[in-house]
Amino acid sequence: KKEKKKTTNTKLTEKKKKMSIRSVQRMSAQSRSSTGTRYTNASNVMRKQLSETRSAIIQTQQGEYDESKLSVFPPIGEFKNAEVGVPYTMLFSIQNRGAKLIDVKITPPITGEFQLLHVPKRGLAPGLETTFKVKYYGEKEQAFTDQLIISTKAQTIKVPLKATPPMAEIDYSKQIDFGTVLPELIQTQTMTITNIGLKSGKFAFLIPDDLQDSIGIEPREGVIEAESAIDVKVTLQTQSETGIQRGHINLRVFTESVVKTKPVDYPFNIVAQVVEARVSLIHPKNRAPIESIHFGSTYFGKTLKQPYTLFNASPFPVRFGFDTPVHEGEEDEPKEPSFYAEPSTGVIPAFGELPVSIMFAPEKPDEKSGFAATRAESHESEIKFKEELLLEVNETRQQIMLDMEGTGLSVDVSINMKNLHFGECATNDNRDILLIMANTQALPVPFSIPHQAHFRFIPSEGTLAPFETANIRVMFSPTQLGEFKRRVPIKLHNKLLKKVIYLHGSCNKIGKKTETIRGLEAIPEDFEVEPKFVANPNRNELSKHSEKKAAYTLRERREKERESLLATKSMSEALAYQKSKKNRKQFDDFLKTQRTQRLEKRQQRQKSEHISKYISDLLLGIVPTLEEPIPAVPKTRDPLYVASKFGGRSRRHPIKFDPNRLIERKFNEEPQTKEEKQDVTIRLNAKMLNKVRHGPKSIDFGDVSVFSKLVKNFSVCNDLSHHVLVQFADDMNDQGVQGESRMEVYPKAQVIPPGAIAGFDMRFFADSIQPFQQMVYFTVNESSKIKTTILADVHESDVRPSATNLSFRFDEHNLERSLKRTITLTNHGTAPAQFEFGSSGDKRDFEKHFDVSPRSGIIEPKKELEVTIQFTPGSLSKGTHTYLLSVKGQTKDIPIKLIADNPPAKVSIAEKKVDFGTIPVGLKKIKYLTLKNTTKHAAVFHVDLPQDVLNNDKYSLTVSPAKGKVMPNSTQKVMLEMLAHTTIALNDIPIDVDIRGGKTTRVTLFAKSLTPKVESLSGDDIKFGSIYVGASTMRVVKLKNTSAIPAVLYVDMVDKPDFKIADANGTLVTLETPPNAMITIASDVADDESEHSDHESLAAEEEDEDVGEDGIDEEEMKGERYQFVIPEESTIEFQMLFQPRVVTDYAFPMAFGLPGSTSLALKILANALKPRMMIRPPLVNFNSRVVWSEDKGIMPHRQLIYLTNEDQSELYWEFGKVEALSQPNIFRLEPTEGRLMQGQTTQVQVFFTPREKKKYDIKIPLYLDGTAPQPNENDSKNPDDLPEGDAVPP
């Protein structure tokens, strides 16, 4: 019994569990039905709450589920977006669903943020419910949780309590469906995420590793403000396999300002259906795919066309293109394709078809002429074409290669003779020659021969069948006396080929005209002309044989030609021809029978007349007095029809009165001639007035903008035979006109001639907004009054801007002071619109940061005008302003809202003033400003100098950078460079540092410049004495700076190339001198030999092309410009080198330039003597050359020098050995010795073969008269150490 009872209790417990679950499901269903379809998100939340309610909320005291007799709603108390310091209350209800009284106990929350209000009584009757409230009050911005415990003796319910502060909450699409896409392509869609919460949040998209290559999202992460939306670009790289492509991605959002909150994940799916797209070229009838096309044969210059169909087997429209592929070797000489398609490009709709035509247009290649031509090429009349035509599909990168074949033929027709001589022929006679034309091709050839006077061609046009020989009868039938010569072109196949024949004939007498039968009695044979062939010496047996064939009648020749052409036609055409031939024969027989009958009747009539004459002879000359009774028939004559524009029986033609077509010609407003004055006084009756037509009956201007000036035409047509005067009333604007809109007619009157149409310009001035209707009256000849109606609907001006909300936010790469936005104003009306922009707020503050250009203007009807709005932040980083667009004739102003949304900037400058102190004239000095950004956003700055600083010539102040960006929590250096050109003293020079979106800071500048004093310790003259050309000598110069500031001096020796400056050690100052040396090159233009490339060196001329008349290189004739920097109260020592190149005397001042003061000048005295032997040029400069190597095979570089004997006697010369180089044969001279008579010149070749990358600089001595040292005598001597007179200066 105990076991049976235990089993029964277990079954009851399971039954109660199932009933409890059913009750929860019923509650869920009721909740779904009550919320409706519009609240899908709310139903999802309710289902979530109910699912939480199912989990261990209802418990019995024994710890087992029991049938719920007590219900609580809502099952969860959730306080969303609860702000700090704001109390919130929520109402709960408890219902007793049992059949007995229940004692209910409510245990309040434990935490202090939740408070139970209005505790109900403990007893709850069956079926009744009671309510209570729970209050939440939070003092911290964080999430709180607690619970309520509602219990009875048999049941305990736990109600969770949750409170969340304002957070970011995302509303988004849970699935992005790309739809049907193509494989291996990039697809893009835009996804909008909206923050419906009250706080901004950071978001980031979490893409699984296996989807990193196929899915891209931009931006990947960022910040979304409260109650705002962001568009996210989602990119999908589709897979190569067809099918459904899926991807699961999470959007994680975290609210920064709320503590103790976890990031929330919002999942969404990316789905795409990948399908394969194929395009095929098919036959339009059997739908078979096409891979090759055979066109057959056609003549050159003609086109064959075959229709086909492009079929797109994909759900997308695709673009295609036909092209001729270019193979290797054909890039330089591309051929003109003979096969092409029409259309060559286009779009095929999804699952659609597009008809295309493939064309074959062979072009005969250009024939060679002259010696380049061959006999085979000149007779090539058939060419086979085999090409490829490429069909490409852009979207799928599909390519279909079509093999094309076709044959091009030349029109080849031969003629048996070119000159046709007909000889003598009289008029009314004929001479004939048979012309034979033969077609040698397998295609028919149409021909035509133009008409020629005195000559006939039978037939003159036709078609030569393939391989057919045709006989053409050429007949000479002159109609006048004289000599006749004709050049006749025979056009073959629509002028593809021309054959020319020459006709010669003469007529010297008039022949007898033969009577021929014409009219109804004539039969076809009567029109035939019997051929008379002339004896032509050029005739062959074929032409003689063909003369018999030419004797056929015209009908027989045409029938034979027709039968030969029908040999290639269809059976139906042949049957039709046979039927027409039978009908013609019957008609010919009918004509012959009628002719026979007419001849018989004529013979009978002649016979009767003969009998009647015989009877009259029997009357013995008695003349009858009575005439034959011939009845009189009345004759009717139709009156002559006069085609006149007026009067008589002229016909009234309908006239279409077009109000939009203005008639420019206007007639006189008053009668001028006597006839006009008489005509306008005629009073018109109703019938006459009906002939004065006018129209249109009403003129409707339609929808018109206020202030419009429109013109339409009103026409009056005069069908009378005299003039009429049409005149409009002068007081038309007083007849029922409302407001200020008015009508004018130009001209007021016109005298309309008979049969003419006059046009009156109806001018409408819409000056007020209202519907317009007016009757306009005019009179004809000042008596008859006629009216017409003018209609118009005048509305206000219609000017619309392209945007009414403009956002001004600088991007991170913009360093400009201002930001421009452009809107387009469109005038949709019919009148010019006058507009003006005005401010709706504080005008001074508004105009300080925003500017509109143009602020006012006029927009023509149906035109557009671009308006630029410029925002200059200044100290304003965020704000909203509104412009009002006022349009004349538009009742409401249009607000243009301008939103400035930029982060504030705060930059401090460490230096309040910049003091350069005392600086020397001509020497630069640099100072720095330190800008520090103390905000979390980058700050843009601009450094502004006063205008008088920028435009002065006494000093120059340079700022670098003049504008830039200071990164967050970092510093930026700004360099100020001062260079004084004369003595100055600057005090309190303002320098403004403008911070975009922040305050402008001013820094003051102080500077003072002095001119240093420099004197020469070497005297005022520098004497070099006399030396030979080519030799060199040096002099030491000392300069002293006696001032307390550094001195900068400049010496210009550009035009004195024989003088150079070296330092105290004797090292020449060159471009390679360190820039921090006291003496440097100050020239702005210098030859940079290192920039010469290797190929330029190879292309250099071996001969010395830059050598002048004196043998000196023109480049070496230029000196240098030197810069001296002498420290304060110090002395500088340097050497001057004098190396003359020409024989001359030097006496000039060498000026040491001191900026701002008088220059220091030293007088240079030197004399260059003529040597015994002159060397030109004294310096052999190879510049930059390529290093020699055996594999390159480069020839040695060569230059020439010239030796001239300037002595009074013969000289023996000899070059010394080159021992200073580590590698031999770098420099080589040929010849190395020789003799020169007085005034004789010889040339020496200098070869340069560099072995490594380095600079080569050597001196080679030249000995005269056998003064060269013996072997091993001067091996250790340097050429510079040789005694004077032993050798020419090296």
Q: Does the structure show a pLDDT above 90 at 160?
A: yes
In terms of residues, how long is the chain?
1290
Q: Does the structure show a pLDDT above 90 at 786?
A: no
Q: How confident is the model at residue 518 (pLDDT cuts 50, 70, 90)?
A: low
Sign of CA dihedral 416, 420, 423, 429: positive
Q: How confident is the model at residue 752 (pLDDT cuts 50, 70, 90)?
A: very high
Backbone conformation region of residue 972, classed left if phi is above 0, alpha if psi is from -120 to 50, else beta: beta
Please give the structure tokens belonging to residue 1260: 């080679």
Residue type, 855: R
Backbone conformation region of residue 495, classed left if phi is above 0, alpha if psi is from -120 to 50, else beta: left
Query: Is 418:500 a contact under the CB 8 Å cutoff?
Result: yes
Q: Does the structure show a pLDDT above 50 at 295?
A: yes
E strand or H helix at 745, and its extent?
Answer: strand 742-746
E strand or H helix at 1266, and its extent?
Answer: none
Collapsed DSSP state (helix, strand, coil) of residue 592: helix
DSSP for 1016-1078 reads ESS-SEEEEEEEETT--EEEEEEEEE-SSS-EEEEEE-TT-TTEEEE-TTSPBP-TTS-TTSS
Give pLDDT, residue 706.
Answer: 87
pLDDT higher at 582 or 519: 582
Segment 164-200, tens digit of pLDDT: 888 888 888 888 888 887 787 788 888 898 988 888 8
E strand or H helix at 547, and its extent?
Answer: helix 541-550
Distance CA 154, CA 104 (A): 10
Q: Does the structure show a pLDDT above 90 at 1205?
A: no
DSSP for 349-373 reads PTT-EEEEEEEE---PPPPP-GGG-
Which residues share a beta bridge with 901?
Answer: 878
Q: Does the structure show a pLDDT above 60 at 25?
A: no
Give pLDDT, residue 2.
Answer: 56
Give pLDDT, residue 380.
Answer: 65
Give pLDDT, residue 549.
Answer: 46
Give pLDDT, residue 1232.
Answer: 86
Residues in contact with 453: Cβ distance below 8 Å, sequence separation at least 6, in sequence order: 484, 486
Residues in contact with 1207: Cβ distance below 8 Å, sequence separation at least 6, in sequence order: 1172, 1173, 1238
Sign of CA dihedral 615, 616, 620, 622: positive
Q: How confident is the model at residue 1102 (pLDDT cuts 50, 70, 90)?
A: very low
Segment 391-418, tens digit of pLDDT: 888 777 788 888 889 988 888 888 888 8
Please give the structure tokens belonging to residue 408: 């091009």
Beta-strand pair 419-424/497-507: parallel
DSSP for 253-320 reads EE-TTSBS---EEEEEEEEEEE----EEEE-TTT--B-SEEEEEEEETT--EEEEEEEEE-SSS-EEE
Specify the range with the lowest mean pLDDT, choosing from 148-152, 320-324, 599-603, 1270-1274: 1270-1274
Please give the structure tokens belonging to residue 549: 């064939």
Segment 435-484, tens digit of pLDDT: 888 888 888 889 998 988 889 888 888 888 888 888 888 988 898 888 88
Segment 816-852, tens digit of pLDDT: 888 898 999 999 888 899 898 887 765 556 667 888 8
Residues in contact with 732: Cβ distance below 8 Å, sequence separation at least 6, in sequence order: 743, 745, 774, 776, 777
Angle at 771 between CA 766 and CA 776, to 5 degrees: 75
Give pLDDT, residue 366.
Answer: 66
The overall average pLDDT reported for the chain is: 78
For 427, 455, 493, 601, 1132, the CA distances from 473, given in Å and listed in that order, are 19, 10, 20, 39, 117
Q: What percent of the chain has pLDDT over 90?
A: 7
Sign of CA dihedral 1247, 1251, 1255, 1260: negative
Query: Is 172:194 a contact under the CB 8 Å cutoff?
Result: yes
Among 1224, 1218, 1176, which Cα is nearest to 1200's?
1176
Q: Does the structure show a pLDDT above 60 at 904?
A: yes
Q: How confident is the model at residue 639 (pLDDT cuts 50, 70, 90)?
A: very low
pLDDT higher at 511 or 330: 511
**Side-chain-facing half-sphere of 783: CA atoms under 13 Å:** 11
Q: How confident is the model at residue 866 (pLDDT cuts 50, 70, 90)?
A: very high
Q: Does residue 208 have a cis peptide bond before it, meaning omega lies within 30 degrees of 0?
A: no
E strand or H helix at 548, and its extent?
Answer: helix 541-550
Please give the structure tokens belonging to residue 18: 């199932």
Q: Does the structure show a pLDDT above 90 at 1279?
A: no
Residues in contact with 476: Cβ distance below 8 Å, sequence separation at least 6, in sequence order: 422, 425, 430, 431, 432, 433, 454, 455, 484, 503, 505
Which residues share a beta bridge with 488?
Answer: 501
Residue with tokens 């001595």: 1261
Beta-strand pair 156-163/77-79: parallel
Give pLDDT, residue 1090.
Answer: 38
Q: Does the structure show a pLDDT above 90 at 1203?
A: no
Among 459, 468, 450, 457, which Cα is nearest to 433's?
457
**Side-chain-facing half-sphere of 381: CA atoms under 13 Å:** 11
CB atoms within 10 A of CB 921: 22
Laid out side by side, the sheet with 455-458 consists of: 413-415, 431-439, 469-476, 455-458
Q: Does the structure show a pLDDT above 70 at 678?
A: yes
Collapsed DSSP state (helix, strand, coil) of residue 619: coil
E strand or H helix at 1231, and its extent?
Answer: none
Q: What is the mean pLDDT of residues 911-930?
A: 87
Among 655, 618, 870, 605, which Cα is nearest to 757's?
655
Q: Does the structure show a pLDDT above 80 at 383?
A: yes
Q: How confident is the model at residue 865 (pLDDT cuts 50, 70, 90)?
A: very high
Give pLDDT, residue 1045.
Answer: 83
Q: Does the structure show a pLDDT above 50 at 40?
A: no
Determine the number of helices (DSSP H) and then strands (DSSP E) in the chain: 11, 83
Q: What is the mean pLDDT of residues 573-583?
A: 78
**Side-chain-facing half-sphere of 755: CA atoms under 13 Å:** 9
DSSP for 936-951 reads SS-EEEEEE--HHHHT
Would the pTM count as exceeding 0.85? no
Q: What is the mean pLDDT of residues 1107-1111?
A: 46
Please give the structure tokens belonging to residue 333: 């000489």
Give pLDDT, residue 760.
Answer: 92
Residue type, 360: F
Residues in contact with 931: Cβ distance below 8 Å, sequence separation at least 6, in sequence order: 907, 908, 909, 941, 966, 971, 972, 973, 974, 993
Which residues share a beta bridge with 343?
Answer: none
Give pLDDT, residue 714.
Answer: 92
Residue type, 1248: F
Please give the structure tokens belonging to residue 769: 């907004």
Q: What is the mean pLDDT of residues 1040-1060?
A: 86
Q: What is the mean pLDDT of residues 525-551?
A: 58
Residue with tokens 């009056």: 716
Q: What is the mean pLDDT of residues 69-86?
A: 85
Among 714, 705, 863, which Cα is nearest to 798's?
705
Query: Is 1043:1062 a contact under the CB 8 Å cutoff?
Result: no
Please give the structure tokens belonging to residue 788: 């017409």
Distance CA 104, CA 153 (A): 8
Query: Is 115:99 a contact under the CB 8 Å cutoff?
Result: no
Q: Does the structure show a pLDDT above 50 at 63?
A: no
DSSP for 129-182 reads EEEEEEEE--SSSB-EEEEEEEE-SS-EEEEEEEE--S---EE--SEEEEEEE-
CB atoms within 10 A of CB 348: 22
CA dihedral angle for residue 62, residue 67, residue 71, residue 75, rounded to 10 degrees: 70
Query: Is 1124:1049 a contact under the CB 8 Å cutoff?
Result: yes
